[in-house]
Structure formats: C-alpha cells, structure tokens
Amino acid sequence: MQLHSSSGKWRLGLGLSLLTASLWGILPIALKITLQAVDVYTVTWFRFLVSFALLALYLSARQELPTLKKLQTVNLGLMAFAVLFLAANYILFLIGLSLTSPANTQVLTQIAPVLMGLGALVIFKEYYTRSQWIGLGILSLGFSLFFHEQLTTLISAQSQYLIGSAIVILAAAIWAAYALAQKQLLQYLPSESIMLILYGGAAVLFTPFATPQLLLTLSPLHWVTLLFCALNTLIAYGAFAEAIDHWQASKVSAVLAITPLITLISISIFSSFFPYLLTPERLTTIAILGAFLVVSGSIAIAMGKSR
C-alpha cells in the first residue's frame, strides 16, 4: 500500500498547526461551561452536525463535493476506522473533562500528539534528526516542570478525578490512532472531503443518544459557548487535516504540544474577568520555566532540518 507523503509546504503546515493548537487550547473552557447545561452526547452530536452542514454548504457552493466515482477509490475500512475513533475520542474527552478540570485534561491529552508523532516515525517512515530528539527531551522536561502542580494534584485526587483522568488518557490514545488514519486517507481524498464524511458519519452515530429538545432550554451564554464549540470543530479539524497534508505528522504533533500552554493562559485571562464561571490557575516560577522549555522544545522539533 502506497503511503501518503506531505506536500512539503512547511510554512503553510506550520501556520495551520498553530491555528489548530490555538483553537484546541481555548476549546476546553467553552466545553466546560457548555456541559453545565447540556449532556455530553447532545454536545457531541450538535458539534458534528453543525460542522457537517456548514462544510457541505461550503463545498457545494464551490462545486467540490466528493463524487461517487472518487468515493469508490477510498479504503472504506480505513474510513470507518477513522469515523469510529474520532467519535470515540470526542465523547471520551468530554466525559473526562466533566469529571476533571480543563487544565488537567490538557495535561493528559498531550500524550495524543506525542503518540501521533512517534507513530508517524514508524508508519510513514518519518524521522527526527539529533537536534529534534534533543528538542523532544527538552519538551518532555518542560512538561514535567510546567505541570508539576497538576500532576501532584492528580496523584492525591479523589476517585472521580482519577477515573476522569484515565478516560482522558484513553481518549488521547484513540485520537492518535485516528490522526494517523486521517493522514493515510489523504492518499485518496482532499482533506475537506474526508472531514465531511467524518463529520456526517459521527453525527449519525450520536443521533440516537442526543436530546435535541435540551437546546430549546439553553440560556444565551450556553448557546454562545455551544456554537463556539461547533465552529471550533469545523475550523480546527479542517486546519489540522490540511496541516498534516502539507507537513510531516511528527512535526505537526510537536507544534500541537503548546496547546495546554494556550489553555492555561486562556484560563488565567478568562477567569480574571469571569471568576464565577471558571476557577483560575496559579503558575509558579517552576511552571513558568517549564512553559519556556515546552515552547523551546516544540520549536526545535518543528524547525529541525531533515538530513
């Protein structure tokens, strides 16, 4: 089987990766607020349904909807795998988030891009240079310092917190498998067509479990956060799909490593204005040093030159 290879437009891939990291970084805040009023299944169903509808309208206007002839060339087993694993990641992430905190969720979710990067080294024959391996070491050290407080809390937490954390780790591993399948699917279809099928398939899967009538009872605040979550899905995953089309998955994963930093910065800003909606996170000197090392390690991996 021929494997997908990146287009080589690394600047475009880098920009799209940064956009994805930014959107995913602020997403847990909106989700945490939305889950105060809507159950996880309805939130997930709504996000996929809105993303599918908007993307279908966009592709229809551009006359770029996937044709039946083109769909017949797709590896259906791989596509089904991607749909199921993306849907599973979404619901497990939300369940874990409801049992823990946005910051802790993003800490544990970082296993996802790391696993994706390592998987790309094996499956797609990508490789790290010596400087990139050093960058990975710096990044790992940075995370251990940056999240020292959160990890200490995790070890001594109550059972509900631990269960939620375990669910988030499982969601992260599932996402890594989905991401690698998504990259290979680019061998058959453009990223927009793949995401259209993924959104539509996942929306169908969650329809029996959703409670649409709940949406009629939402406050304006929860409507805003719910719509933001849906649009975040459409834009962030579209940017991610394009990023791995133009750049090596191992390098995309390195840029995504800054996502939890964006989350904690966003929490700090948001909670200062709306403390009744979100508890602020306090950063120690060690955490700030860790943040510097995480960013430095990510840059070393992302910008490393191939031999």
Per-residue pLDDT of the chain (307 residues; tens, 9 = 90+): 555 556 667 788 889 999 999 998 899 899 989 998 999 999 999 999 999 999 999 999 989 888 888 888 888 899 999 999 999 999 999 999 888 878 778 777 877 877 877 787 777 776 778 887 888 888 888 878 876 765 666 566 567 878 888 899 899 999 999 988 988 888 888 888 998 999 999 999 999 999 999 999 999 999 999 999 999 989 998 888 888 778 877 778 778 878 878 888 888 888 878 777 776 666 677 877 887 787 788 777 766 654 4
The 3 state secondary structure assigned to the chain is CCCCCCCCCHHHHHHHHHHHHHHHHHHHHHHHHHCCCCCHHHHHHHHHHHHHHHHHHHHHHCCCCCCHHHHCCCCHHHHHHHHHHHHHHHHHHHHHHHHCCHHHHHHHHCHHHHHHHHHHHHHCCCCCCHHHHHHHHHHHHHHHHHCHHHHHHHHCCCHHHHHHHHHHHHHHHHHHHHHHHHHHHCCCCCHHHHHHHHHHHHHHHHHHHCCHHHHHHCCHHHHHHHHHHHHHHHHHHHHHHHHHHHCCHHHHHHHHCCHHHHHHHHHHHHHHHCCCCCCCCCCCHHHHHHHHHHHHHHHHHHHCCCC
pLDDT at residue 34, as a whole number: 93
pLDDT at residue 19, as a whole number: 94
